Amino acid sequence: MKTKFNRIYVEITNSCNLNCDFCPKNNRTKQFMSVTNFEQCLKQIDNLTDNIYLHVMGEPLLHPILEEILKTAKQYGKNINLTTNGTLLSKNVEILKKGYLRKLTISLHSFEANKSLASLEQYLSEVVSTVKQITSTTNTIVEFRLWNKDENNLSAKNSLNNKIIDFIAKSFNAQLNIDELQNNNTLAPNIFLGFDNKFTWPEESNKNLATEHKFCYALRTHFAILVDGTVVPCCLDNNASMPLGNIFNQNISDILNSEKATQIYQNFSNRIATEPLCKQCEYAKRFDK
């Protein structure tokens, strides 16, 4: 098994303040990871990665002791990456201005997937204002993220993409040609506009998508630790369908070298998906290119 990973996902909460159409509804008990448990995770993964991502499900900025979590990660010398829907940025701006984060990714497609949010202009104005404050005092990299490809079977069709792009570009005096945008576009120093393809979260019940022939980087470049300590092979296992063990009462080395983890790793080496959830995963299709 790998001894070093590009990144490890540590889910500090599976609670969220929104109800996005594109997010799966996980049936796990909603909770927040304590600093004690978070540090226990860091101690065990300290030599396994330099980069941690504070999400699987949930909105990280909801965490009631967010700054203590960030301080603890910094004490272990980790590069902290955080993805947010952007609605709680202004409430946490003083924390974020202290430079704990290596990268802050803001999922702007969250707006159109919710009917309860205020106007688009109000949402974007607040997000942009906060980003300017953060980047003026820190080296944090900020990426505004949008989906730029539509699929008929997915919600959040992103009909507002052009309006969002136009607003963001004008806010940073950036000259962007909508017809010539790349996957990553510079708006200002350390501020970028990025695009990604939509995907459907895998569900074991979706038997129509099942296929065994596929490759995945799970347990090669990354794995995830859920808020209750459950270790899973990848960040798309939102319901802990493939539990490998629990980091709160097991050694991470034993978990990663367990029979189940080893089997998943070796089978993907042969481009074979054996776990039911993996067989349903559409995201893995991009690795066939």
CATH number of the domain where residue 29 is located? 3.20.20.70
Bridge-based pairing state of the strands 141-147 and 191-196: parallel
Of 60 and 183, the one with more pLDDT? 60
Assigned domain for 281 exists:
no
Assigned domain for 30 exists:
yes
Contacts of 152 (CB under 8 A, 6+ apart): none
Assigned domain for 63 exists:
yes
Assigned domain for 286 exists:
no
Q: What SS3 string covers the chain? A: CCCCCCEEEECCECCCCCCCCCCCCCCCCCCECCHHHHHHHHHHHCCCCCEEECCCCCCHHHCCCHHHHHHHHHHCCCEEEEEECCCCCHHHHHHHCCCCEEEEEEEHHHCCCCCCCCCHHHHHHHHHHHHHHHHHHCCCEEEEEEECCCCCCCCCCCCCHHHHHHHHHHHCCCCCCHHHCCCEEEEECCEEEEEECCCCCCCCCCHHHCCCECCCCECCCEEEECCCCEEECCCCCCCCCCCCEECCCCCHHHHHCCHHHHHHHHHHHCCECCCHHHHHCCHHHHHHC
What pTM value is reported for the model?
Answer: 0.91
Confidence of residue 156 (pLDDT cuts 50, 70, 90): very low
Q: What's the pLDDT tens digit per position in 215-265?
A: 999 999 999 999 999 999 999 999 999 999 999 999 999 999 999 999 999
Range of the domain at 68: 7-196
Assigned domain for 112 exists:
yes
Both tokens of 83, joined, read 């993805």
Assigned domain for 257 exists:
no
Q: What is the number of domains present in the chain?
A: 1
Assigned domain for 236 exists:
no
The pLDDT assigned to 205 comes to: 62
The pLDDT assigned to 175 comes to: 84
Structural contact between residues 112 and 161, judged by C-beta atoms closer than 8 angstroms: no
Assigned domain for 275 exists:
no
Confidence of residue 152 (pLDDT cuts 50, 70, 90): very low
Residue 271 amino acid letter:
R
Task: Give Cα 149 distance to the centre of its chain.
Answer: 19
Q: What's the pLDDT tens digit per position in 80-136?
A: 999 999 999 999 999 999 999 999 999 987 766 556 566 888 999 999 999 999 999
Give the chain's largest Cα–Cα span.
54
